[in-house]
């Protein structure tokens, strides 16, 4: 898998959370640390796309958006421009319970000139996703023309969808985004219920 590198987006404005969400404490450690601990097992290069220097505390390189204020699509562009690998595994810091099995299922499908993303209840999930580095130029055009909707970009490009409805039925929490204090409470309740079952 030496043709793949991992980039974790942590540069969102986090309006609903009220603070930088990747750094908030979630079940005893910063939210992004849950994901970093999990993907480190893959032994792939990892970088964090963020504007806050505090992300350097985790021991991975931190890079800033090349074109600020362009949302997640801008984060993908930054990642692809930085990468020396053929593909980028793009992730978002707000999915701390995402399973390694789901990530590996996407990696197993990677192929030239094709975006690999998951599909849940007929909806595309841009994260996690496998993105070929040769998409840089077309993404730059999207950014220049303020076409920033990530899902529309995917639909306009060669892509393969991996259906994860069955995984969701078995473990819905692995797809949970933590974007608000209410989401944090749900995560705590999920952890407590899981401990009771064990």
The pairs formed by 13-19 with CB atoms below 8 angstroms and a separation of 24 or more are 14/179, 16/179, 16/180, 17/178, 17/179, 17/180, 17/181, 18/181
20 is in an annotated binding site: no
10 is in an annotated binding site: yes
11 is in an annotated binding site: yes
Rounded to a whole number, what is the largest CA-CA distance in the chain? 52
Task: Write phi, then psi, for 169 (nearest 5 degrees).
Answer: -60, -40
User: Do residues 75 and 11 touch, judged by C-beta distance below 8 A?
Assistant: yes
149 is in an annotated binding site: no
User: Do residues 101 and 121 touch, judged by C-beta distance below 8 A?
Assistant: no
**Could you give the C-alpha distances from 77 to 23, 81, 142, in angstroms and in order?**
23, 6, 10
13 is in an annotated binding site: no
94 is in an annotated binding site: yes
Residue ranges for the binding site for Mg(2+)? 94
Question: Which residue ranges make up the annotated binding site?
Answer: 9-11, 21, 65, 94
Q: Which residues are annotated as a binding site for GTP?
A: 9-11, 21, 65, 94
């Amino acid at each position: 898998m030496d043709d793949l590198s991992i980039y974790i987006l942590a540069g969102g404005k986090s309006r609903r959370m009220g603070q930088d969400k990747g750094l908030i404490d979630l079940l005893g450690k910063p939210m992004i640390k849950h994901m970093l601990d999990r993907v480190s097992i893959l032994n792939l290069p990892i970088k964090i796309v963020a504007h806050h220097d505090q992300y350097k505390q985790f021991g991975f390189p931190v890079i800033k958006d090349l074109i600020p204020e362009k949302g997640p699509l801008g984060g993908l562009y930054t990642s692809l421009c930085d990468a020396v690998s053929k593909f980028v595994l793009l992730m978002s810091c707000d999915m701390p319970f995402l399973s390694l099995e789901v990530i590996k299922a996407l990696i197993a499908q990677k192929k030239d000139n094709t975006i690999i993303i998951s599909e849940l209840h007929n909806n595309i999930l841009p994260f996690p996703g496998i993105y070929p580095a040769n998409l840089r130029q077309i993404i730059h055009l999207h950014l220049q023309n303020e076409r920033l909707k990530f899902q529309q970009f995917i639909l306009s490009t060669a892509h393969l969808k991996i259906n994860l409805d069955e995984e969701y039925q078995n473990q819905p929490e692995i797809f949970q985004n933590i974007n608000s204090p209410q989401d944090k409470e749900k995560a705590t309740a999920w952890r407590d219920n899981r401990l009771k079952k064990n």
